[in-house]
Structure 1
Amino acid sequence: MASSCKLPVPPSSFASTAETTTVHHGGSSSFISAIHPDILYTHVLTRLDGPALAYVACASKELKSLASQDDLWNKICCSTWPSTDMPRLRQVISTFPHGARSFFSASLPLLSIDQAPTAPPVVSNSPSELFSAVDIYYRNELIFSRVVETETESWWFRCLPFRIDMLDPKDTRPTPITRPDTQDDHLKLAEDLTLSWILIDAAGRRAMNLSSHKPVSVHRHWLSGEVQARFALILASKKRSSSEFVQCGILVNYGGGTSSGGMLVKEVSLQVEDMDGMFLNGKDSLGILNTSFEGKKGIMGGRKEEEGRRRYEGFLKMKRERKERKLRTEDTLDTLCVGFGILILACICSFVFLR
């Protein structure tokens, strides 16, 4: 078998086709196509992750054919997101334009914040059913995995605040997470947790990841004592003539305890919040999500959490500035109202005295 295999890494290098992809046998070289496809597939391609496999597929026609096989991408999807290894969901994924490969490409990266609708959302074209595939890891160990279906055509969904719950109110899941006591413990927990929330439009064959990968904040609730980890994705939304932003906030609550000392997952929920701190209803949320399905995608790898926290902090800053502007406007209006009232009172008094 070949002793070494040289594959170009930068995507731009793959345009050189198979001539730059060589296998060394002692002092001579030959095309990588000389290796039997079964050996390449079994001993090389099955060991790669999704991004690496996508790069390799650009090296030559032979590798593209091998690296595009759907069962290979199905295994990658299931290993990356165990929740996708569900018969109903695998059937949905198989309907994507290029099967599991298209699903992986749509679900791995973050959405771009600058993707906003250019017109009011057309709700009639919105998905009638959504799948939420959620996976939570603690120190690279899976502690929570579940898929929930949500219908979006009922009156209560469109009129009430948008919310997707992965757990019933009385349902819990044990974890090995110990309760953090100090600020350092909270920071450590934020580094040890990762979450993926893939929202899937089955009819439209579209998917996107609504998570910041790592928590943007971890703190203990002042009343219940539960530990709350927040994941967030900030999306742009055009409202009338001004651009605004909304937060797709994912809240994970940990509380109670197990016999081994670990906390319980008590809540995993998704809501959409505007810059006034109001939760959007199902109709408005669905319009934004419907447009975001077609949004730009980017920011992969280790930059996910950095970009997610940066966007969240920027969103909080804009919320504070917006609140301060409103308070200043209200103070100005109050002052004008008081001044106008004093002026009217002075006019009435003058009229009475002149008589």
Structure 2
Amino acid sequence: MRDTTAASADQGGATTLSALHPDIIESHVLTRLDGPSLGSVACCSATLRHISSSDNLWSDICHSTWPSTASERLSHLISTFPDGGARAFFSHAFSVLAADRRLTHSSNPPPELISAVDIRYKDKLIFTKVQETETLSGWFRCSPFRIDLLEPKDVVPTPIKHPEGDEACAETTNEMSLSWILIDPIGRRAVNLSSQKPVAVQRHWLTGEVQVRYASILAGGQGHVQCGIVVTCGGSESGEMHVREVSLEIEDMDGTHLTGKDSLVFLQGALEGKNGTGKYRVQEGHRRYKAYMEMKRERKERKLRREGALDMFCVAFGVAALVGLCCFLWCR
């Protein structure tokens, strides 16, 4: 697309895009586009780039893509993001973490984190929440890192019928999509920690509760960690699923949950630097999770082999010591 369209044979002239009032283009054309499409249109011409930079356009797109961002505090915060306001925020939150991203230490860890979470089923919103988490207290830094969005007795009803059987469970939960945007309100940075679609689903054989896992794999100087988001759903008397738990945790390759202090190092690294494209978020999320689980399996096997070799050495040493003691007593 260019500013000037092809000449019309009937009219014998050319129609320019500038002939249309910018308000018409913005309100009747660009408002019908999603974020990636609007970004593509902005690359077509100088006129469209100027019109597409409207913060109102990008704010509406952010609110429709992630309803949790429509809260008063987040709306104001998003508008202050450097290099584009709502457009910059969309770029941060829509992109996938770069696969080769490593931790940086250009600034102090954020004193507060804001979580903007949205869960959909077949594109219908079933859960949305904004939660603030302080990161300065000794309790946060020394305790295992965990962000819970629901109290133990809270439940969120959904229109989803409780599935019977593992196959039906997998088909049902595959229609659920989740976005967990973590925001640094001081540094004006954001990152989406979710794989969007589930990477694993487990159904408890006794209670029938379904655990749906979303994940991002974060890289650091000490290896990789899994940033896991677990949504636990249980059945109700009416036969529908209720959301009973939505939580975020970070664990290393040995399955040990990181403390708040250690988790901040990885989250700070995730918030800083450039991201990859968000076009293949689902496929990339599954690929990285499978690669991480394979590394975890190989690590466990190596550990078992080392422990087995150490056990054999201890047994051999014990036998040798016993034989030596017997020989010493016999010689006496």
TM-score in terms of structure 2 length: 0.94
Q: Which residue of 2 aligns with 1:187?
A: 170
8 Å CA contact retained: 2:112, 2:135? yes
- Output aligned runs, 1:109-120, within 5 Å: 109-117=95-103
| Alignment partners' CA distance in 1, 2:67 and 2:209 | 27
Matched positions, count? 329
Q: CA RMSD in A?
A: 1.7
Whether 2:309 is the aligned partner of 1:332: answer yes
- Distance apart, 1:184 and its partner CA: 2.6
| Alignment partners' CA distance in 2, 1:50 and 1:24 | 31
Which residue identity is paired with 2:229? I
8 Å CA contact retained: 1:112, 1:297? yes
Task: Report % sequence identity.
Answer: 55
- Output aligned runs, 1:267-346, within 5 Å: 267-301=245-279, 303-346=280-323
Q: Which residue of 2 aligns with 1:219?
A: 202
8 Å CA contact retained: 2:201, 2:213? yes
Which residue identity is paired with 1:216? V
| Alignment partners' CA distance in 2, 1:130 and 1:23 | 51
| Alignment partners' CA distance in 2, 1:60 and 1:80 | 25
Q: Deviations over 1:171-203 (max 9, x none)?
A: 111001111112331231232110000000000
Whether 2:240 is the aligned partner of 1:250: answer no
- Distance apart, 1:34 and its partner CA: 1.9
8 Å CA contact retained: 1:131, 1:150? yes
| Alignment partners' CA distance in 1, 2:7 and 2:311 | 81
Distance verdict in 2 for CA 1:23–1:206, change over 3 Å: farther
Q: Deviations over 1:97-134 (max 9, x none)?
A: 1211100000002112321226xx57x70010111000
Structure 2 residue ranges without an equivalent (≥5): none
What is the aligned counterpart of 2:217 among 222, 234, 241? 234
- Output aligned runs, 1:1-355, within 5 Å: 7=1, 18=2, 22=5, 25=8, 27=10, 28-97=13-82, 98-117=84-103, 125-239=108-222, 244-257=223-236, 259=238, 261-301=239-279, 303-355=280-332
| Alignment partners' CA distance in 1, 2:128 and 2:7 | 44
| Alignment partners' CA distance in 2, 1:250 and 1:30 | 52
8 Å CA contact retained: 1:114, 1:235? no
What is the SS of the residue equivalent to 1:22? coil
Q: Which residue of 2 aligns with 1:3?
A: none
- Distance apart, 1:25 and its partner CA: 4.6
| Alignment partners' CA distance in 2, 1:295 and 1:246 | 18
- Distance apart, 1:292 and its partner CA: 1.1
What is the SS of the residue equivalent to 2:14? strand
| Alignment partners' CA distance in 2, 1:23 and 1:213 | 41
Which residue identity is paired with 1:340? F
8 Å CA contact retained: 1:211, 1:231? yes
What is the SS of the residue equivalent to 1:309? helix
- Distance apart, 1:24 and its partner CA: 5.9
8 Å CA contact retained: 1:189, 1:218? no
8 Å CA contact retained: 1:111, 1:295? no
- Distance apart, 1:23 and its partner CA: 6.1
| Alignment partners' CA distance in 2, 1:171 and 1:161 | 22
Which residue identity is paired with 1:289? L
8 Å CA contact retained: 1:23, 1:32? no
8 Å CA contact retained: 1:112, 1:235? no
| Alignment partners' CA distance in 2, 1:212 and 1:279 | 20
8 Å CA contact retained: 2:229, 2:249? yes
Structure 1 residue ranges without an equivalent (≥5): 1-6, 8-17
Which residue identity is paired with 1:327? L
